[in-house]
């Protein structure tokens, strides 16, 4: 297997693309489309070549025989053919031996690209990986997210200080797709060559230092019911849906459960972040709030979060009333 990092992939493409099998996998889906675009541009120098020699399949819809048929046919009026299978982990392959036989002796004029969020968990996938050039799109660390955001803003000729970038990341989170979208909004809103400030980030995203999902989690974790309701209502008023808020809260308290388990085993905060693959931005409030919640309370909250989600889908209760009850359960808990 030839393993290449996302950062090194552009340099890899500076040479002629002769690999017949490329696997793109990992948790950070944001990089998938960028890598596929780069591969496409490297294979096809003009649009007419692509029109006749580009095949895109989705694992949930295609069959293995269709994929292999596309791979085995010769390119038309071009040196190369590009076959892409997205969601490869969902492709139903009854005859794995035949698929591996093709991987061992691929059509030399075909470049086969397989993408999947999860890849390598079974013998079949490991066999494919061993014969591939693989790009593992890992989640970025907090420092890498900061550097990526800084570089992205520089590309748009936007001047930003550290405080503004950190504020943006704290509000948007580490989801690269959403972060990229917000930076595009910023570019369109303030224009190139302008300074990015906390004030115009608030105007664009609707978040302030006081009203954002992360501060909502923080005040809930401090069990301050009055402030929690104030911030929660403001989030709804700013257009945040309860359907989007609930999963964020579930993740927050699930992470708290994991942290408490590791603290019981005398792990340090640094060790816990390494074990969980944690981003310090996401875990700093959790470490502070752990002492406020027992395992019994957290189990109770998971039930109430699921109940809130069910009410949202199946009843006429308003989002405000569901949120009010949920905040009460988080901030007030009586042991049985």
Report domain extents, the chain: 2-136, 142-205, 214-331
pLDDT tens per residue across span 62-107:
999 999 999 999 999 889 999 999 999 999 999 999 999 999 999 9
CATH fold, domain 2-136, is Rossmann fold (3.40.50)
Mean confidence (pLDDT) of the chain: 87
**Measured at the alpha carbon of residue 139, what is the angle toward residues 269 and 122, in degrees to the nearest 5?**
105
- Domain 214-331: CATH architecture, name and number where available: Up-down Bundle (1.20)
Measured distance CA(150)–CA(122) in Å, rounded: 38
Alpha helices (H) along the chain: 6-12, 30-43, 47-53, 64-72, 96-104, 123-130, 142-155, 162-172, 176-190, 198-205, 213-221, 225-237, 242-264, 269-276, 280-289, 295-314, 319-331
**pLDDT above 70: percentage of residues in the chain:** 95
Residue 43 confidence class, pLDDT cut points 50, 70, 90: very high
pLDDT tens per residue across span 145-172:
888 899 989 988 998 888 888 888 877 7
Stretch 252-260: mean pLDDT:
92
Residue 278 confidence (pLDDT): 67
Residue 336 confidence (pLDDT): 45
CATH of segment(s) 142-205: 1.10.8.60
């Amino acid at each position: 297997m030839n393993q290449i990092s996302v950062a090194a992939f552009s340099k890899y493409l500076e040479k002629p693309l002769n690999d017949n099998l490329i696997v793109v996998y990992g948790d950070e889906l944001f990089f998938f489309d960028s890598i596929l675009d780069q591969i496409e541009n490297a294979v096809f120098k003009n649009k007419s070549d692509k029109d006749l020699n580009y095949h895109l399949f989705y694992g949930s819809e295609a069959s293995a025989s269709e994929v292999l048929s596309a791979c085995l046919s010769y390119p038309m009026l071009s040196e190369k053919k590009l076959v892409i299978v997205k969601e490869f982990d969902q492709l139903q392959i009854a005859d794995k031996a035949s698929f591996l036989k093709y991987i061992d002796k691929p059509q030399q004029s075909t470049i086969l690209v397989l993408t999947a969020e999860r890849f390598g968990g079974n013998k079949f996938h490991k066999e494919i990986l061993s014969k591939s050039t693989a790009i593992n799109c890992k989640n970025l660390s907090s420092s890498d997210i900061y550097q990526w955001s800084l570089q992205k803003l520089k590309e748009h000729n936007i001047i930003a200080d550290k405080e503004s970038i950190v504020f943006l990341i704290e509000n948007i989170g580490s989801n690269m797709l959403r972060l990229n979208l917000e930076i595009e909004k910023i570019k369109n809103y303030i224009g190139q060559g302008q300074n990015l400030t906390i004030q115009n980030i608030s105007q664009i995203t609707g978040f302030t230092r006081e009203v954002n999902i992360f501060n909502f989690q923080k005040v809930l974790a401090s069990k301050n019911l009055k402030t929690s309701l104030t911030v929660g209502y403001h989030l709804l008023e700013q257009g945040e849906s309860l359907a989007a808020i609930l999963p964020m809260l579930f993740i927050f308290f699930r992470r708290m459960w994991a942290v408490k388990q590791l603290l019981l085993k005398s792990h340090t905060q640094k060790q816990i972040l390494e074990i969980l693959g944690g981003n310090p931005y996401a875990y700093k409030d959790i470490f502070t709030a752990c002492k406020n919640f027992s395992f019994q309370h957290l189990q109770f909250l998971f039930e109430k979060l699921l109940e809130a989600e069910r009410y949202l889908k199946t009843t006429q209760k308003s989002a405000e009333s569901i949120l009010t009850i949920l905040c009460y359960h988080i901030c007030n808990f009586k042991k049985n």
